A and B are shown apart, each in its own frame.
Chain A
Amino acid sequence: MEIPRIPLGSWIEGGLTWLTTEYSSVTRAISRVTQTGIEVLNEALMWLPEWALMALIAVLCWRVASVRLGIGAVLGLAVIWNLGLWDPMIETLTLVVIATLVAIVMALPVGIAAALSSRLYRVIMPVLDFMQTMPAFVYLIPAIPFFGIGSVSAIFATVIFSMPPAIRFTTLGIRQVPVELIEAADAYGATRSQKLFKVQLPLSLPTMMAGINQTIMLALSMVVIAAMIGADGLGSEVWRAIQRLRPGDGFEAGIAVVILAMLLDRLTQSLRRTRK
Chain B
Amino acid sequence: MDETRNVKIQVSGLSKVFGKQPKKALELRHRGAKRSEILEKTGQTLGLYDINFDVYEGELLVIMGLSGSGKSTLIRCLNRLIDASEGEIIIDGENIPTLGEKALLECRRRHFSMVFQNFALFPHRTVQQNAEFGLEIRGVGKTERYDIARSSLKQVGLDGWEDAYPNQLSGGMQQRVGLARALANDASVLLMDEAFSALDPLIRKEMQEELIQLQNKMRKTTVFITHDLDEALNIGDRIVLLKDGEVVQIGTPEEILTRPADDYVRRFIEGVDRSRILTAESAMRPVRATARSGDGPRTALRKMREHGLDSIYVTDRDRKLLGLLEADIASKAAENKADSINDYLIQDFRSVRAEEPMHNLFAMFSDRSFPIAVVDEENHLLGVVVKGAVLDELARAGEQ
Binding site for B on A (CB under 8 A): 178, 180-181, 183-191, 194, 198-199, 202-203
Distance to closest chain A CB from B232 (angstroms): 22
Kindly state the separation between the CA atoms of A198 and B107 in the bound complex, as whole angstroms.
20
Distance to closest chain B CB from A185 (angstroms): 8
Q: Which of B115-123, B242-250, B311-319, B392-400 contacts A (4 or more CB under 8 A)?
A: B115-123
Asked if A187 and B108 sit within 8 Å, CB to CB, the answer is: yes
Binding site for A on B (CB under 8 A): 76, 79, 81, 105-109, 112-114, 116-118, 120-124, 133-134, 136-138, 185, 191
Distance to closest chain A CB from B139 (angstroms): 10
Kindly state the separation between the CA atoms of A181 and B122 in the bound complex, as whole angstroms.
7
The residue among A181, A191, A202 with the most chain B CB atoms within 10 A of its own CB is A181
Given contacts A180-B117, A186-B81, A190-B137, 17 further A-B contacts (CB under 8 A): A180-B118, A181-B122, A183-B81, A183-B120, A184-B120, A185-B137, A187-B79, A188-B109, A188-B133, A188-B134, A188-B185, A189-B106, A189-B108, A189-B112, A189-B134, A190-B105, A198-B137
Asked if B114 and A188 sit within 8 Å, CB to CB, the answer is: yes
Residue in A closest to B117 when the chains form the complex, CB atoms: A180
Asked if B124 and A202 sit within 8 Å, CB to CB, the answer is: yes
Say whether chain A's binding surface is mostly helix, strand, loop, or mixed.
Answer: helix
Contacts of A190 on B, CB cut-off 8 Å? 105, 137
Given contacts A203-B123, A203-B124, contact A187 B136 (CB under 8 A): no
Kindly state the separation between the CA atoms of A187 and B192 in the bound complex, as whole angstroms.
12
Asked if A187 and B138 sit within 8 Å, CB to CB, the answer is: no
Asked if B122 and A191 sit within 8 Å, CB to CB, the answer is: no
Residue in A closest to B118 when the chains form the complex, CB atoms: A180
Residue in B closest to A275 when the chains form the complex, CB atoms: B124
Kindly state the separation between the CA atoms of A260 and B124 in the bound complex, as whole angstroms.
32
Say whether chain B's binding surface is mostly helix, strand, loop, or mixed.
Answer: mixed
Asked if B114 and A184 sit within 8 Å, CB to CB, the answer is: yes
Contacts of B120 on A, CB cut-off 8 Å? 178, 180-181, 183-184
Kindly state the separation between the CA atoms of A190 and B136 in the bound complex, as whole angstroms.
9
Contacts of B133 on A, CB cut-off 8 Å? 184, 188, 198
Distance to closest chain B CB from A91 (angstroms): 38
Kindly state the separation between the CA atoms of A203 and B125 in the bound complex, as whole angstroms.
10
Asked if B137 and A188 sit within 8 Å, CB to CB, the answer is: yes
Distance to closest chain B CB from A115 (angstroms): 17
Residue in B closest to A201 when the chains form the complex, CB atoms: B124
Query: Can you offer 5 A-B residue contacts whose CB atoms are under 8 A?
Result: A183-B76, A183-B116, A188-B108, A189-B138, A198-B136
Residue in A closest to B133 when the chains form the complex, CB atoms: A188
Residue in A closest to B76 when the chains form the complex, CB atoms: A183
Residue in B closest to A186 when the chains form the complex, CB atoms: B81
Given contacts A180-B118, A194-B137, A198-B136, contact A188 B124 (CB under 8 A): no
Asked if B106 and A187 sit within 8 Å, CB to CB, the answer is: no
Contacts of B121 on A, CB cut-off 8 Å? 184
The residue among B105, B136, B191 with the most chain A CB atoms within 10 A of its own CB is B105
Partner of B113, one of A183, A188, A194, A203: A188
Contacts of B113 on A, CB cut-off 8 Å? 187-188
Contacts of A198 on B, CB cut-off 8 Å? 122, 133, 136-137
Asked if A191 and B116 sit within 8 Å, CB to CB, the answer is: no
Contacts of B112 on A, CB cut-off 8 Å? 187, 189
Distance to closest chain B CB from A130 (angstroms): 32
The residue among A187, A189, A199 with the most chain B CB atoms within 10 A of its own CB is A187
Partner of B116, one of A180, A202, A203: A180
Distance to closest chain A CB from B158 (angstroms): 18
Asked if A184 and B122 sit within 8 Å, CB to CB, the answer is: yes
Kindly state the separation between the CA atoms of A94 and B105 in the bound complex, as whole angstroms.
47
Distance to closest chain A CB from B357 (angstroms): 39
Contacts of B117 on A, CB cut-off 8 Å? 180
The residue among A178, A188, A199 with the most chain B CB atoms within 10 A of its own CB is A188
Question: What 10 A-B pairs are tightest by C-beta distance, nearest first?
Answer: A189-B109, A189-B108, A187-B114, A184-B120, A180-B120, A188-B134, A202-B124, A189-B105, A190-B137, A188-B137
Kindly state the separation between the CA atoms of A194 and B106 in the bound complex, as whole angstroms.
14
Distance to closest chain A CB from B112 (angstroms): 6
Distance to closest chain B CB from A4 (angstroms): 44
Distance to closest chain B CB from A242 (angstroms): 49
Asked if A189 and B137 sit within 8 Å, CB to CB, the answer is: yes
Distance to closest chain A CB from B31 (angstroms): 34
Distance to closest chain A CB from B77 (angstroms): 12
Distance to closest chain A CB from B45 (angstroms): 18
Kindly state the separation between the CA atoms of A185 and B81 in the bound complex, as whole angstroms.
10
Kindly state the separation between the CA atoms of A191 and B108 in the bound complex, as whole angstroms.
11
Kindly state the separation between the CA atoms of A187 and B114 in the bound complex, as whole angstroms.
6
Contacts of B124 on A, CB cut-off 8 Å? 202-203
Kindly state the separation between the CA atoms of A199 and B129 in the bound complex, as whole angstroms.
12
Contacts of B118 on A, CB cut-off 8 Å? 180
Kindly state the separation between the CA atoms of A227 and B366 in the bound complex, as whole angstroms.
93
Kindly state the separation between the CA atoms of A202 and B133 in the bound complex, as whole angstroms.
14
Contacts of A199 on B, CB cut-off 8 Å? 122
Kindly state the separation between the CA atoms of A184 and B133 in the bound complex, as whole angstroms.
10
Kindly state the separation between the CA atoms of A58 and B362 in the bound complex, as whole angstroms.
79
Distance to closest chain A CB from B373 (angstroms): 52
Distance to closest chain A CB from B203 (angstroms): 20
Distance to closest chain A CB from B61 (angstroms): 18
Asked if B108 and A186 sit within 8 Å, CB to CB, the answer is: yes
Kindly state the separation between the CA atoms of A203 and B123 in the bound complex, as whole angstroms.
8
Distance to closest chain A CB from B223 (angstroms): 13
Kindly state the separation between the CA atoms of A72 and B124 in the bound complex, as whole angstroms.
32
The residue among B124, B133, B191 with the most chain A CB atoms within 10 A of its own CB is B124
Contacts of A178 on B, CB cut-off 8 Å? 120
Residue in A closest to B123 when the chains form the complex, CB atoms: A203
Kindly state the separation between the CA atoms of A268 and B118 in the bound complex, as whole angstroms.
33
Given contacts A199-B122, A203-B123, contact A184 B137 (CB under 8 A): no
Kindly state the separation between the CA atoms of A232 and B124 in the bound complex, as whole angstroms.
43
Contacts of A191 on B, CB cut-off 8 Å? 105
